[in-house]
Amino acid sequence: MGRILCLDVGDKRIGIALSDPMRLIASPHSVYTRVGYTPDCKHILNLYQQNKCDLVVSGLPKNMDGSIGFQAEKVMAFCEKLKEAGMEVVFQDERLSTVAAHDALIEGGMRRDGRKGTVDKVAAAVILQQYLDKNR
């Protein structure tokens, strides 16, 4: 059983988190600044292979009423490219994950200017931990 790579896909950045090999704990990994579909997919594929992952969990930004909106459709289109590259992709509802990440960073004493470069990978870790807990 391989690790799980988790993505918090945004228009400008992708927050990235990884599970431990036992799939119990999610850890923030990095924030990738988007360039375009092809280089973005290549970067994710490289991470997937380097970390011996066998699953990608992507946050799905549903509307607060649970419906699929424009942003969720963009995330699903990007993830379709990942599937075409040979990765298995599943979705995890990510509503309020960024809020939880901001709250955690504030509680940890991180200043506002430091949170901008960190919040996306922490949000990815929140999404992944929710997925791990749900599927344990």
- DSSP-derived 3-state class of residue 95: coil
| Coil, strand or helix at 86 | coil
Sequence ranges of the domains in the chain: 3-134
Is the Cβ–Cβ distance between 93 and 65 less than 8 Å?
no
State yes or no: pLDDT of 110 exceeds 80: no
Nearest to 87 by CA among 3, 13, 11, 19: 3
Domain 3-134 sits in which CATH superfamily?
YqgF/RNase H-like domain (3.30.420.140)
Looking up tokens 């431990």 gives 20
**Which residues have a Cβ under 8 Å from the Cβ of 65 and sit 6 or more positions away?**
none
Per residue in 29-60, pLDDT (tens digit) is 999 999 999 999 999 999 999 999 999 999 99
Give the span between the Cα atoms of 40 and 74, in whole angstroms: 14
Whether the model pTM is above 0.85? yes
